[in-house]
Structures are given as structure tokens and as C-alpha cells.
Structure 1
Amino acid sequence: MIKKIKLRTLLIGGVITLFFALLIGRIFWLQVIDNDFWAEQASKKWNRQETLTASRGTITDRDGDILAMDAPAYTVTINPKVIHANGLEDDIVDGLNQVLGKNKEALRKLVTAKNDDGEYHTYREIRNEGWKMDEEKRNKVEELKKKLEQKLRTSGQVVDTGITVVTEKKRFYPRDTMAAHVLGYTDRQGNAVAGFEKYFDDELKGIDGFAKYQSDKKGVKVPSADEVYQPAKNGKNFKLTIDDTIQYYIEDAMREAYQQYNPVSMTVIAADPNTMEILGMANMPNFDPNTYWEYNLESFRNHAISSTYEPGSTFKIVTLASAIQENLFNPNAEYLSGSIRAGGRTHYDIKAGGWGQISYLEGVKRSSNVAFVKLGYEMLGKERLKNYINAFGFSERTNIDLPNEALGRMNMERDIDISTVPYGYAVSVTPIQQLAAISAVANGGKLLEPHIVKEFEDPNTGEKTKIEPEVVRQVISAETSRKTGEYLEQVVADQEKGTGHNAYIEGYRVAGKTGTAVKGDYSDRSKAVVSFIGYAPVDNPKIAVLVIIDEPNQKIGGGAAAAPVFQKIVSQTLKYWGVPKTETQADKDDKVKTETADLLKTPDLAGMKVSEVKAKLLAEGLTFETLGKGSTVKKQYPPAGASMAASQKIYLLTEENTSMKIPDLKGESLRDAMEVLTLMKVRVNVKGEGYVAEQKEITEKGQRVVYLTLKSAADTVKGVDDSTESVDQQEDVKQEETAQGE
């Protein structure tokens, strides 16, 4: 008996000893042999890392109006398991079909989706109709959820519809199609695809940050010395040279011509010829970057920089300026128009038989091919002509800060080609090259690099960088620039002989040139590229514009089709800027006759949103300027109900503080300038009579004072300096008096 007890004790003890041996062995294995593996598994359980997404930089126009920004977006997700548990399959399919417009069959597949184990999924996104939606659709989905929740409550079920709306971010373009080819777009995943978005993607997208920390089993963050935080670096904000008002004028004028002529495409670029800041750029067909997937590939092509074409007669500007620079152009010398044999072929004027014996100046006005063959092929010769073409930038890219810039070509090896180059054949160019060249003619002979960025800001540091004009080279002299402009002005001003007479703007001096280039092998003359290029005012250029219409649906030249588009854009822009007209006696007589007929009643804009006011005034053709950075109109001038001229500018005050930027009042009457500055609570000092020609802002005893120098309208346009003191002289005298007083 005792022996059995001892054996039993030994057996139990042995088993216990073996158990502890195995336990210790297992612990040793886990803590020593498998230590790295289990440490990693434990780390995964309590260590967390979150991505801190950087915000993509905002893109605005030159006045700060937003063109592209990050905005809230909403994605619809469903839980098939919950939906089936609550018997809502049909309700969900029917409801989301009505709200999102997604196919019922596709919705049913999502609602009934199962995993490999035959269990319903717990998460599915409704793509693409319910992916990154706008707020309007999100609200409709929320209404559907509430309706279904009420149904579940009534039946006594668990109130869970299986529908969730997740808040995300997406790229938003508040002006829809406006400047779409400049801006480009990002896809739904946030990848930059085209345009400015793609070219400056690295600067715009920023760098994501992260947060590493430890949490308990419920995922709640716990204090830890190992916590790591790397903040996101948001993308840079860009201010473009584009003016959204001028962009509106461009697209509005284009839309009218596009509907009339139904061309393959249409392109317009506007720039400040003195800086080559791009003021507006557009193409048709156009697209909306918010819904880019709805358009075909051709809609995305930015012809302004990515397409080449034979320019035709607009290229004659290069030949003319080159001949003037070489002292070869005598406007009064005569030649026989009609046709000429040169380079192994016969060249003809657009009018059969020509106009007889005419002067070279008349040849320029009439766009005579013969005149330019003589100037370019006979007088300049191959080498000089080629050198000037290169100097004007046609053998190199302009380096505009947009992607996919094309490069034109020249065929100047054979005489038969060289003889046609002076009037724009056997040479292909990009629209942006042409605009840079005409700007060199306008600005005193300097070829400048065109640019689309005015300044950019790093929001993480507040550092701002401004982009300054960059001169490539001096192409022609300032005197040649002046003379060329005067001859090109006659192409527009001569209403009888000038091919560009449809670009004439009453009260302004306009220079320009028409172009009509037959496409392909020249056998089908119905297929042509028609264009107009020019600038204004001639004596003080502020805007240069190129208009191209590719294959209009009727046989028509650049003077008839493209020049009116130029005229509408430039006349609206000069009015918008308040550029004073050159007033002749005839103008004065006309003004007396029409001054009462042209009067309008100023609309009441107070309390309206700035975006609504802009749309209203642009649609009515009224010019305006927004003062301040508020979102609603606080005050206005002229006041509501007051009589105003159709050409008068409306000033919209969106803030009520004394630090707002003083607007550019050049060209305004003294009364209007005084009213605006009084509205802004700014003191004024006036010298002279007429219209505002100069303004200077200084601070005296803590208060802002604006000095205005007035001149007559004619003197303002001509730049005539009268004997009165300049603004700077006034300031010097004032400072001297202050110093003596102290």
C-alpha cells in the first residue's frame, strides 16, 4: 500500500516536473529563440502610425481670385452584411440609383458582394458615381439614410442602414471651364495629369508627414517616450499672371466665333508685351477639370503651346521689322503688285492681277505677298532673313512655364522654300512663339520669356518669391520698334485698304496683322488657318493678343473672322483697365450727342456675394474692381440708382478697414477718384486738371495720403509732361516742409 502511494507520488511529481520543464522550455523558446518575431508582433499591436496628408497648394489669378484649391469631398461606402441583416437590399439599390445615377445591376453586385468564405463583405465603395462627390450629392445621400433609418425604427430593427459617407479631399476648380488648358487637372486619385498642375506638381503637392505613437488594445493613444511627430509640409500657393476678368472676355469672344464658324479648334493668347506676363490663354474645344472624364482627348490639347502651324501673313511682321532694321523699307517706294517670279516659282497676291503699281506701305496694308517676297527674298536675302527669324525666337522654345511646349521648324534650304518664308509659308511656329515675337515689336525690340507665374508662397514659412521679366535678347532697336508699330497701325486704321480694319477700336491706336494660311498641300483652299495678331495702344502698348481659328466652316480670311474677336477682347480690356482714349474733336462731338443716351442706372450690389456680383456685371458688360478681400459687398461707387456712363468702372468695397490696397486710379476723373478714396477713408492731395495720370501713396502722421497728378485725356495717352510738379516732386517738397517744421 505504501509502495503504491510512493509510486503514485513519484508519477505525479514526475508529471509536474515534466510540465514545468516544458513550460520553462517554451518560455525560453519564446523569449530567447523567437524573441524577435514576437517582439515584432507585439509592436504591431500597440504601435500606430498615421499619415498626415499635406494640402495641395492653391492656385489664384493675379488678383487673388481662386482658380484651383483643395475642397471637401464625400465618398459613399456600404456594408453588405448589415444591409442584408436588415433586409434593405432593394431599398439601397433603388435609392442609390436615383441619387447617384449608378446602374442598378452594378449596385446589386456591390450590395451582394461576398468574401472567399461565403460571408457578406463589410465595406464597399460606390465608384465612380459615389466617389469624391460634391456636397449637393452628399446631402441627397444623407436624406436617403434618414428615410431608411426611419423605416428601421418603425419596424423595431437595429437602426443601421449600412450606408456611410466618408469625408475626404479633392481638387476643386471653382470657375469650371475657365482657364482649363492653363490649369490642367488632377485625377480622382490626386495625381497631376496636365497643365500647370502637372508642371508644378512637386511644388504644389507638398510632403506628407506622419505621427508614430503607442496605443492600448482599444487603440487609445498612451503616453510614450517613443512618440514621433513629423508635420506635413503643405504645397506652395501660386499666384498666376492670368487676370480672370480678361480670361472671361477671351472665352466669351471665342465662344461666339466658335459657334459661328464651327472650326476644328480655336486659340487665343493675351499678354502684357512689356513683361510677357500671360493675361489670358484659352482653346476651344474646352473642358471642365472637375469632370474631366466626360471629355474626349482632343479637348485637353493646349494648342497655344503644343501645336505648330504655318502662320501665313501674320509672319510678315517679322519680315517687315527686319527690313526696317536694315534700312531696306521705303514706304513710299513703288513696285508692281500681282505676281513675281522668285526662287523657282511664281508668287501671287490674294487679288488676281494685284492692284497695279503701288507703294510698299500700301502693300503692307493690303498684305501683298509680292511686296514681302521682294523685301525678304530679294532685299534681305537668305542669311539675314534666317538670322532675324532666329533672333525673334522661332528656332527655340520660349520656355514658358507650362508643359509640352512644341518647337516649330524652318525649311530654308531650297530657294523655292526660302522665297515663301517672308510671307509665312515653309515655316511652322507655335502660337506662343508668335505672341513673344509681336511683343518684341511692341515693347521696344526686346524678346522676353513668356511666363504664367506672378509669384508663389511657401505657406510653411510665409516666404514669397516674385517672378521678374526675363529678357532673352534685343532683337531690333527701339526706333525700328516704333516705326514698325506705326506701319502696322495703318493696317488697322485704313478702313479702305487695311486688311485689319475689323480690329479698329474707336479712340485707341491699334497695330496688327491678319493671316490666312492654306493647310496641307495647298490644293484644298477651303482648309485654312485664319488669324489676327496685334497690340494696343500703339504708343504705349499694354496688351498683345493672338487669335487663331483653325479651319472655319466657310471660306473666310483672318481679317473677317479673327480680327473681330481681337477687337472685342482688347476694347473690353482697355475699358476694364480704364485706359483713356485719344480724344479727337469728332470724338468730343459724338460724346456730346450720346452722353445722355449712354447713361445707365447703377445696380444695387450691397450685401451680394462677390462671386455673384462678378457674374452679374460681366454678363452686363460693366467694368468693376473689387477692393478688399471680403466675400460680400459692403459699399459701392457709384452708389445704387446713380446715373453712370456705360464705360464707367464700378468699385466694390468688401471690407471696412483702413488698410485696404489703394486701386490703380489712372484714367479716372477727379470726381470718381475722390469718391473712391473717400469711401476708403483716405486723404487726397490733387495737382493739375483732367484725369488721373499718376498716383503716389505715403503715410503722414499715421494716416495714409494719396497724391494725384491730373492731366488731360490726350496728354495722358501721349505721355506729355506738363510744367506742373510730379508726384515725386510734391512728396519731396512735403517732406522738406515737414523737416523744416520739425
Structure 2
Amino acid sequence: MLRLGSPRRRINIGLIGMTFVLSIFAGRLIQMQGLDSKVYEAAAADQRQHTETIPAKRGSITDVNGHDLAVTVEARELSIDPSKISADVRGKVATILARQLGKSEQDMAAKLARTDTRYQRLATDVDPVVATRLLQAGVPALSAKKTYRRLYPAGDLAGSLIGFVGDEGSGLAGMEQARNTVLAGRDGKQRVETGRDGQRIPMTSSQRTAPMDGQDIRLTIDRDIQWAAQKSIREQVQKSGADSGSVIVMDVQTAQIVAMANAPELDLNNWRKSPQSSQINKAAADVFEPGSTNKVITAAAALEARAVTPDTVFHVPDRIRCADQVLKDAHAHAAESMTFRQAMAQSSNVATIMAARKVGSARLYQMLKAFGFGTAPGGGVPGAEAGLLPDYRKWSGSQSCTVAYGQGVSVTALQMASVYQTIANGGVKVEPQIVAGTTDSSGRFVPAPAGKHTRVVSQTTAKEIATMLESAVGEEGTGHLAAIPGYRVAGKTGTANRYDAELGRYDGYTASFAGFSPADKPRLVVLSVLQNPKNGHFGGQLAAPVFKDVMTFAIKSKKIPPTGSVAAPVRTRAGQ
């Protein structure tokens, strides 16, 4: 017979085995709940806790009168969990999202098809009304996060000066980039506990660091004058067939920039579709040879050195040899006697060279430096370039003559406007200003510090140059198209050969006009410049009318009355 083993033995063996297994479980529980409890508690907390960014509101950019040029409004960022969208409703959901968000249905369907992920961002900068509509439509697994979007109410007004903000909320050009730290503020943070579905667990602890909103920046730009400047230069660029153009309006006493216009200008609401060239603030960054507008610096050097006076008479042919070059006046003429005043009014290159020779290259170079050539202007204008001022010891034989009338040196429109601000301000150069002030954390307006003041020439020299420039806008001057009825105007035309970096040679012209009004009590400086015009090329023909249009609008807008005085009789011709 088959004998069965003792049941007691089997039971004992089973009990021993169970005791061993249970002891392992017990030991593990002791380790987890006792020895390692803090570790697992921290790990669980990390799984539940999430840090959310609380975006700071970006500060506004306004004109000098508080009109909005760049503002921030509330928006929503929409995201979805594709794993919770069943296949049978995926097409319907994609259609709803595409219609409400202005996206393609294919794009939405592709995001919903990513069922291997639990997060897909659908859109940023969504209007809160649209986001609420979608949430109420019952789209499954849809979530909305508060954010902000940047708007530019004025479109292309001062577009390249203001710049724009990228998708990540940082400034990418212009003032938006240059003052990004001030405008952006500081994001806050919030640490919350959420469940597996991503929803916040009620009654759980949270840690919150409040955001610090960005400060508002008030520019010195006047919206109305900026509009007039852009309109005038845009129309002249189109009419003349120029590649581009710029206008600067500057306050004489403070050097605050009242307008800084370019054509073509950047439309800030469509900056992604614009060519990169339109994103550059040409008025501050484009470098060119100024031509005859630079003659005021030669005149300043000659008058300061007492080498000439406005009434000094020169016997002026229409050409002069300088080293291996023969340099000419713009128009052929018989040799004639000219006062220095007349030479400036008629923009004689030859007479200017004669005056420069009395000064010498070293003194002329120092005067160019004193007026700001070769140095980037301060004042916070984004993208401002320094131009090019070679050391006089490196000037070629002909360059020692051409620099006198603005060829062989390079400047920006901003630098040239500063030259005329210095003359109009009695010889005192003020650092150009583009920011009027900012708001502090309490919302109080804090004015920007005034620009640095530097005396460049004596008040007497500045006044003598002003009278010479007023003659240049007279009937016999090259700038007569800049004259404004009822107002005294001082200014100078400029026509320069234009160096084309792509071609590696001179090609085309730069036409410009710079001046101020009222001539006897200056309030505003206006400079206009056109690059590579095809229909005409003289500054008096193309740039002077822009000056007249913009200055006329500006003095009316600022309610600047005529002084009521008339220019004192001066000797313009030799023998008078």
C-alpha cells in the first residue's frame, strides 16, 4: 500500500516558507515606511508638485504724449492631451479647433494624432473670448493658460525704431530689444500639487512668487510729427525712385528726437513677412558720405581758427587740382570772386577746399571729431553706428581735399542731424535723446536724465554759420526750395557720390538737406536724406522739399510762431 507522508511535516514546511516570505515583505515594509519613508514621500511630492511660470506683463512703449505705440494685452495659450481624444471624434475636434483658432485643419489633426504624448500646444496669443468659447464647446482634454500678447496699434509708425517681440516674449529688434530688461519685468512662479489628470488637488499647499510687471517707456517721438515725416519721405522715395530715405526731427535745445522716419518702413503687425532690410533703423544705422551738408564743419574749423571770415573773398575757378585728382564744382562756371558766405550758399567745392587748406588737415580732423564723427552717438538710440572717420595722417592726397566737402568720411543721418543741432544751439552739442522717461514700480513717471552738453564751437562762430546757412536758403542759394513763407530758415543741401558696398565702387548719389527754423531763434532741426534716387539726384531738388514739408508741419504742430524779424543785410557777393 502507498504510504502518505505526515501532514504535520507538510504543514510545518509550508508555515516556514510562508514565514520566510512574509518576513521579506515585512522587512520591505519596514524599509519603505520606516527607514526610507522620507525618500518616497519626497518622490511622491515631486510627482504631484509642478512649478508653473506666472508671466509678467510687458511694459508699454508710448510717444511723448502717452499715445500707445506698443502695448500688451491678456491672451491664452491653448494645449490639449491627445491621448484622451478618441479616434471617432478626432476629426470633428480638429475641425472645431481649426475654425476657431484660424489654423489649418491638417495641422490640428496632426497634433491630435500624437496619442503617444499627453501634451500638444495648439496656439499661443489666443484671444480670451475665443479660448472661453472653445472651453465651453466641450472640447475634451483642452486646457488654457493665461499669457500675454504684444500689439502695435500704430502699425508701421516708427516701426524699425520700436522693433518687435518674438514668440518667447523677448525683444528682437529696436527699442523692444535695446530696453528688453526694463520692458519685460520678471516672471513669477507658483508651485502646486496636481493629480494624474493634471488638475490641481484642492486644499493642498502652494508656494507663489508674484511676477514683477515691466516698466512703461515713454519715447521723445511725437506721433503726429512722426506720421508727417514718414508720409513725406515715403512719397519722395516713390517719386524719385530712391532705394530708401530717412528723416530726423530734433529739438534744438534738448536734442530730443521728435521724429525718426524711414522709407520703406517696417509694419510691426506683419514683421515676420518683412525683408530683413526693413527691420533696420536706417536713420541711425545706415552709413553714407554726407557731401555738402558737411561743409558747415569745414566752415566751423576755418572760422574758429580765424583763417577766414564770412566776408573773406576767394577767387574761385570751377576746378582745382589736389594731388593726382582734379576736383570740380557741381556746375561749370568761369573763374569768379566769391565771399565765403556766397561760396557756402552756392555750395562751391572749390572754395571750400581753399578754406580747408587755410586750416590744415589736422585741425579739420579735430573739428570733425568734436562734432561726433567716428563715434557712435549716445542717448540710447538702438543700432546707432559710429560712421567712418579715418585718421588724417592716413588721408590720401585727394582725400585731404574731398573730406572738406563731405567725401571720404561716412556718417549716419543721426550724426548729421546732431551737427546741425550743435550749430543751431549756439555751438553746444547735446547728446541725442530718444527716451523721455520710464515708470517706476509704483507707476510714477521718472524723466530720463538730460543728454551730455559739450561746447564744440564758440557762440560767435555758430551765429556766423547760421547766417551763412540762411543765405543758402535764399533765392541765390542751392536750398531755396526749403524756404517756408513767414519763417526764417537756415540750411544746407548735400549731393554726394554714393559708395555701393555690394558693387565695391561708387554708384549713384546720396541727396540730403539739413537745416533749422526759425533761423534767428532755432527750435527744431530737420534732416532729410535719400539714397540712390533715379529721377534727379541733387539735394536741393529732392531733399529740400521734404525738409520744407516736415518742418512746416512740425512748427505748426508745436505752435512755434514766426519771430517776425527779417535777416539783416549781409554781403553775399564780392565787390558789394
Report the TM-score when normalising by structure 2. 0.87
1:320 and 2:321 matched: no
1:389 and 2:368 matched: yes
Q: For 1:514-561, what per-residue CA distance to the aligned partner results, in whole angstroms no more than 9, with x for missing partners?
A: 111112389998711111111111222221111110011223211111
Counterpart position of 1:67: 69
Counterpart position of 2:434: 452
Counterpart position of 1:368: 348
Matched ranges for 1:306-317 at <5 A:
306-317=285-296
Name the CA distance, whole Å, in 2 between partners of 1:441 and 1:480: 9
Return the match for 1:180 from 159, 176, 190: 159
Shift in CA distance, 88/223, structure 1 to aligned 2, threshold 3 Å: closer
Counterpart position of 1:474: 455
Name the CA distance, whole Å, in 2 between partners of 1:482 and 1:88: 78
Q: CA deviation at 1:102?
A: 4.7
One-letter amino acid of the structure 2 residue matched with residue 415 of structure 1: G
SS at match of 2:360: helix
Name the CA distance, whole Å, in 1 between partners of 2:169 and 2:508: 40
Q: CA deviation at 1:81?
A: 6.2
Name the CA distance, whole Å, in 2 between partners of 1:78 and 1:51: 18
Name the CA distance, whole Å, in 2 between partners of 1:354 and 1:560: 23
Shift in CA distance, 379/178, structure 1 to aligned 2, threshold 3 Å: same
8 Å Cα contact 1:273/1:542 also seen in 2: yes
8 Å Cα contact 1:337/1:358 also seen in 2: no
- Aligned residue pairs total 556
Consecutive unaligned residues in structure 1, runs of 5 or more: 150-158, 586-713, 715-742
8 Å Cα contact 2:489/2:519 also seen in 1: yes
Shift in CA distance, 261/101, structure 1 to aligned 2, threshold 3 Å: farther
1:533 and 2:534 matched: no
Q: Which moved more, 1:15-24 or 1:54-63?
A: 15-24
Counterpart position of 1:510: 489
Return the match for 1:289 from 259, 264, 268: 268
SS at match of 1:415: coil
Q: For 1:311-332, what per-residue CA distance to the aligned partner results, in whole angstroms no more than 9, with x for missing partners?
A: 0011011111222222233333
Q: CA deviation at 1:221?
A: 4.4
Q: CA deviation at 1:190?
A: 1.1
Q: For 1:586-637, what per-residue CA distance to the aligned partner results, in whole angstroms no more than 9, with x for missing partners?
A: xxxxxxxxxxxxxxxxxxxxxxxxxxxxxxxxxxxxxxxxxxxxxxxxxxxx
Return the match for 1:437 from 406, 409, 419: 419
One-letter amino acid of the structure 1 residue matched with residue 561 of structure 2: P
One-letter amino acid of the structure 2 residue matched with residue 439 of structure 1: Q
SS at match of 1:263: coil
8 Å Cα contact 2:536/2:542 also seen in 1: no
Q: CA deviation at 1:449?
A: 1.3
8 Å Cα contact 1:56/1:205 also seen in 2: yes
Name the CA distance, whole Å, in 2 between partners of 1:145 and 1:563: 59
Matched ranges for 1:31-50 at <5 A:
31=33, 34-35=36-37, 37-50=39-52
Tell me: higher relative CO, structure 1 or 2? Use CA pairs within 8 A at least 6 residues apart: 2
Q: CA deviation at 1:472?
A: 4.7
1:418 and 2:392 matched: no
Identity %: 29
Q: CA deviation at 1:67?
A: 1.4
One-letter amino acid of the structure 1 residue matched with residue 355 of structure 2: L
Q: Which moved more, 1:209-218 or 1:296-305?
A: 209-218
One-letter amino acid of the structure 2 residue matched with residue 59 of structure 1: I
Name the CA distance, whole Å, in 1 between partners of 2:114 and 2:18: 49
Q: CA deviation at 1:363?
A: 1.3
Q: CA deviation at 1:90?
A: 6.7
Counterpart position of 1:632: none
One-letter amino acid of the structure 1 residue matched with residue 339 of structure 2: S
1:544 and 2:525 matched: yes
Consecutive unaligned residues in structure 2, runs of 5 or more: 568-576
Name the CA distance, whole Å, in 1 between partners of 2:127 and 2:485: 46
1:114 and 2:93 matched: no
8 Å Cα contact 1:516/1:557 also seen in 2: yes
Name the CA distance, whole Å, in 1 between partners of 2:73 and 2:561: 41
SS at match of 2:464: helix
Taking only aligned residues, the RMSD between alpha carbons, in angstroms, comes to 3.3
Q: For 1:234-254, what per-residue CA distance to the aligned partner results, in whole angstroms no more than 9, with x for missing partners?
A: 222211111111111111112
SS at match of 1:520: strand
Q: CA deviation at 1:201?
A: 1.3
Q: For 1:654-674, what per-residue CA distance to the aligned partner results, in whole angstroms no more than 9, with x for missing partners?
A: xxxxxxxxxxxxxxxxxxxxx
Q: CA deviation at 1:100?
A: 6.2
Name the CA distance, whole Å, in 2 between partners of 1:23 and 1:79: 38
Shift in CA distance, 282/564, structure 1 to aligned 2, threshold 3 Å: same
One-letter amino acid of the structure 2 residue matched with residue 210 of structure 1: K
8 Å Cα contact 2:75/2:125 also seen in 1: yes
8 Å Cα contact 1:70/1:172 also seen in 2: yes
Shift in CA distance, 343/562, structure 1 to aligned 2, threshold 3 Å: same
SS at match of 2:471: helix
Counterpart position of 1:246: 225
Name the CA distance, whole Å, in 2 between partners of 1:470 and 1:361: 32
SS at match of 2:514: strand
8 Å Cα contact 1:526/1:554 also seen in 2: no
Name the CA distance, whole Å, in 1 between partners of 2:114 and 2:497: 62
Matched ranges for 1:619-698 at <5 A:
none
One-letter amino acid of the structure 1 residue matched with residue 456 of structure 2: V
Name the CA distance, whole Å, in 1 between partners of 2:253 and 2:29: 81
Shift in CA distance, 88/209, structure 1 to aligned 2, threshold 3 Å: closer
Counterpart position of 2:549: 568
One-letter amino acid of the structure 1 residue matched with residue 404 of structure 2: P
Matched ranges for 1:37-436 at <5 A:
37-74=39-76, 85-87=87-89, 89=91, 92-93=94-95, 102-103=103-104, 105-111=106-112, 113-116=113-116, 123-126=119-122, 131-133=124-126, 160=139, 168-212=147-191, 219-222=200-203, 224=205, 228-334=207-313, 335-353=315-333, 356-376=336-356, 378-411=357-390, 412=392, 413-436=395-418
Return the match for 2:446 from 439, 442, 465: 465
Q: CA deviation at 1:500?
A: 0.9
